[in-house]
């Protein structure tokens, strides 16, 4: 009976596994293989070993994209987690119009990153963008800026736009997690004289640990694969100052047709992603065993 059920299970899994292998695994392996060639879109390219990876060490564009990706990843973990938690704690206390207010904060999550990028592109427009208009209305015209054209502000401006949606995602997950916090335990701590900060630190935050794991995991994954919002808002400019590894891989592959180098950049992005996410899950597993 058990063997029969196993065959049925494999029968149902066969089609999705085959589709996954054809659309994900095979293209990934194909791309990895080209990372060791000098393929220029014509022919198959010749095997060059680690030459493409050695080339990266002297490529300012790659080093800048790697730096941007790492900055983006760190901020992606810190900012949405703290801001989402603060919003969730505040909204959890709201009683009047709670659903309406939560829906307003939830709205960014319903938009694709392409739409988010286009909305913030209009907000940042130097001549008639909402941000500069608001600054002018409050007497801060001198603060007006070409936010996406200045190399010093472009990357941060894109990150703010991306964080706007990620904060909403973190908030929703933390709001769901707050429903699991024991009200009896919180009230008992309050009766024992624990203040708001002590209750948050000793009761609420430990109960939210699974939510922290989910928020951090999603933030890491979304940050490392960030492409669409960067491409929509700046295209990697100005002067390639906002390029991440994903954008760089696309540019060198489909703008200059240097597919060998683009594939090598993709391999590096994959390795960075596996290392960062693997370290996080290893640390989380260690915490589970020692708490």
Report if pTM > 0.75. Answer: yes
Q: What percentage of the chain exceeds 90 in pLDDT? A: 35
Residue 127 burial (CB < 10 Å; 0-12/13-18/19+)? exposed
Least confident piece of the model among 32-36, 183-187, 243-247, 283-287 = 183-187
Q: How high is the pLDDT of residue 22?
A: 93
Domain membership of residue 103 (yes or no) is yes
DSSP string, the chain: -HHHHHHHHHHHHHHHHHHHIIIIIHHHHHHHHHTTB---SSS---B-TTHHHHHHTT-HHHHHHHHHHHHHHHHHHHHHHHHHHHHHHHHTT--TTHHHHHHHHHGGGGS-HHHHHHHHHHHT-TTT-HHHHHHHHTT-GGG---TTT-TTTHHHHHHHHHHHHHHHHHHHHHHHHHTTS-HHHHHHHHHTT--HHHHIIIIIHHHTHHHHHHHHHHHHHHHHT--HHHHHHTTT-STTTT--HHHHHHHHHHTS--HHHHHHHHHHHHHHHHHHHHHHHHHHHHHHHH-
Q: How high is the pLDDT of residue 258?
A: 92
Res 3 pLDDT > 70? no
How many structural domains comprise the chain?
Answer: 1
Average pLDDT over the chain reads: 87
Domain membership of residue 216 (yes or no) is yes
Domain membership of residue 195 (yes or no) is yes
Domain membership of residue 112 (yes or no) is yes
Domain membership of residue 68 (yes or no) is no
pLDDT tens digits for range 168-221: 889 889 988 888 887 788 788 778 777 888 888 888 888 888 898 899 888 888
CATH of the domain at 202: 1.10.3720.10
Domain membership of residue 142 (yes or no) is yes
The range of the structural domain enclosing residue 168 comes to 73-243
Res 227 pLDDT > 80? yes
Domain membership of residue 54 (yes or no) is no
d(CA 26, CA 226): 22
Domain membership of residue 52 (yes or no) is no
pLDDT tens digits for range 115-153: 999 999 999 998 889 999 999 999 888 888 889 999 999
């Amino acid at each position: 009976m058990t063997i029969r059920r196993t065959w049925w299970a494999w029968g149902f899994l066969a089609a999705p596994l085959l589709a996954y292998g054809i659309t994900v695994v095979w293209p990934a392996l194909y791309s990895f293989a080209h990372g060791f060639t000098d393929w220029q879109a014509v022919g198959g390219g010749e095997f060059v070993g680690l030459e493409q990876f050695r080339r990266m060490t002297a490529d300012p564009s790659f080093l800048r994209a790697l730096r941007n990706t790492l900055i983006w990843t760190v901020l992606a973990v810190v900012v949405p987690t703290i801001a989402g938690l603060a919003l969730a704690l505040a909204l959890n206390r709201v009683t009047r119009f709670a659903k309406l207010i939560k829906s307003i904060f939830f709205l960014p999550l319903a938009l694709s990153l392409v739409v988010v990028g286009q909305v913030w592109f209009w907000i940042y427009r130097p001549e008639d963008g909402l941000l500069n208009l608001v600054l002018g209305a409050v007497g801060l015209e001198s603060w007006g800026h070409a936010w996406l054209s200045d190399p010093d502000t472009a990357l941060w401006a894109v990150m703010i736009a991306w964080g706007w949606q990620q904060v909403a995602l973190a908030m929703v997950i933390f709001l769901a997690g707050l429903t699991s916090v024991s009200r009896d335990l919180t009230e008992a701590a309050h009766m024992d004289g624990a203040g708001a900060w002590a209750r948050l630190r000793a009761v609420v935050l430990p109960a939210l640990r699974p939510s922290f794991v989910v928020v951090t995991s999603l933030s890491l994954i979304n940050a490392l694969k960030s492409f669409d919002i960067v491409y929509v808002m700046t295209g990697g400019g100005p002067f390639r100052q906002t390029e991440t590894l994903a954008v760089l891989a696309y540019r060198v592959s489909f703008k200059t047709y240097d597919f060998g180098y683009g594939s090598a950049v993709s391999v590096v992005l994959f390795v960075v992603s596996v290392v960062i996410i693997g370290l996080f899950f290893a640390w989380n597993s260690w915490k589970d065993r020692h708490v």
